[in-house]
Amino acid sequence: MSYVPVDVNDAVSRECKRRRYSERTIKTYLYCINRFLKWSKKELGTISKVDVRLFLEELSEKGLSGNSMNTYHMAVKFLFEEVLKKKK
């Protein structure tokens, strides 16, 4: 069972700062992650690749640019792989 932090925002911020990410990147990642979590309406432990794919497809259908799509993808990937240590 993987570790699920009580405060996602705090855990993401700490990991970003440890990697010396800029404050702007941290703010952007937190925004993208929180938007995804609000959209999914699921507990962290129950979110799957399918959920991430559906979220990104919905953003794409709304006309988000490729750069924005990539930012959302990398933020969610960072949360699961680097913060939660889940390989999805």
Q: Residue 6: what are its φ and ψ, rounded to 5°?
A: -65, -40
Q: How far apart are the first and last CA of the chain?
A: 14
Domains parsed from the chain with CATH numbers: 8-83 (1.10.150.130)
pTM of the model: 0.89
pLDDT at site 88: 54
88 to 25, 36, 53, 61, 84: CA distances (angstroms) = 22, 16, 12, 23, 11
pLDDT tens digits, 8-61: 999 999 999 999 999 999 999 999 999 999 999 998 888 999 999 999 999 999
Mean pLDDT for 61-83 is: 95
Give the tens place of pLDDT for each residue, 58-69. 999 999 999 999
Q: Tell me what pLDDT residue 27 has.
A: 98
